Amino acid sequence: MPAWAGQLLASMELDAAQPNAKVVFHQDGLQALQQLLRLIEQAQRNLDLCTYVFARRCGGAPDWHGAAAGSARGVRVRLLLDGVGCWRLLPSRLLRQLRRSGVLVRRFMVPMLQPIRGGSNLRNHRKLAVADGVHVWSGGRNLADEYFLPSSAGHPAWVDLSFKRARGLGRCGDGAVRGGLACSPRARRPVWLSPAMALGGGDQAWAQWLPSGPDHADDTLHALYLASAFHAQTSITL
């Protein structure tokens, strides 16, 4: 991470980058699905899931089955769904099945029921799975078949980016576990990363959570993107 980026993020009182035991970017949808299922299976105490689209089937099987199975073996499972992303994709009876199995289900900003006036475009697009506050699966893949496997008509899975990481030190913050919906601001000394550290050189990889949302004073991503453009020396690739 360049010095200017660390200084900018520290000025917004964001937690500094932290070392991780391992960060793995998935090669394709199949690997992403396998890593997600493995994370769900290895949860021993808590499992937190957050997604925009929650379809009835994911990876050739009901995507709610893993959450229900985790709750059945004594894992505390929480599921946060977007009120629009799951609209008409997940029948009410399946939500009732999840709740009966012990899964705590919440829908974010349901149309006609949203508490913030004029907030119809305030959506939760985060895709996140956290096991025991340590193992994290995230990226751009929603929980639906088309993000992981080819269709029955032979169409390939959608191209997207996702990764899995394991914290080597400490635990994910409460805001990260809730999908970044809230983070308590704590000023931290910025950590300057060399290129080798940023790419996972040595025994550890480094990663940093960037919270965003209406409950955060700054538009963190906008500030970082804009500052990146101003610091560019030769080219900008979007």
What pLDDT, on a 0 to 100 scale, did the predictor assign at position 62? Answer: 63
Q: Which residues contact 71 (CB under 8 A, 6 or more apart)?
A: 77, 101, 102, 103
Give the pairing type, strands 76-82 and 46-51.
Answer: parallel
Q: Which residues contact 125 (CB under 8 A, 6 or more apart)?
A: 52, 82, 85
Strand partners, 104: 78
For 237, the 3-state DSSP assignment is coil
The correct CATH number of 3-231 out of 3.40.50.720, 3.40.50.620, 3.30.360.10, 3.30.870.10 is: 3.30.870.10
Extract the tokens encoding 78. Answer: 């929480």
Q: Indicate the pTM of the whole model.
A: 0.74
What pLDDT, on a 0 to 100 scale, did the predictor assign at position 200? Answer: 44
What pLDDT, on a 0 to 100 scale, did the predictor assign at position 227? Answer: 94
Give the pairing type, strands 127-131 and 104-108.
Answer: unpaired
Determine the Cα–Cα distance for residues 77 and 69; give it in Å rounded to an integer.
10
- Domain regions of the chain by residue span: 3-231
What pLDDT, on a 0 to 100 scale, did the predictor assign at position 117? Answer: 64
**What's the average pLDDT block by block, 10 residues per block, for the chain (238 residues)?**
83 79 87 92 91 76 71 88 74 78 83 63 84 90 90 88 71 38 38 45 67 78 92 91
Determine the Cα–Cα distance for residues 33 and 237; give it in Å rounded to an integer.
29
What pLDDT, on a 0 to 100 scale, did the predictor assign at position 124? Answer: 82
CB 66 within 8 A of CB 146: no
What pLDDT, on a 0 to 100 scale, did the predictor assign at position 34? Answer: 92
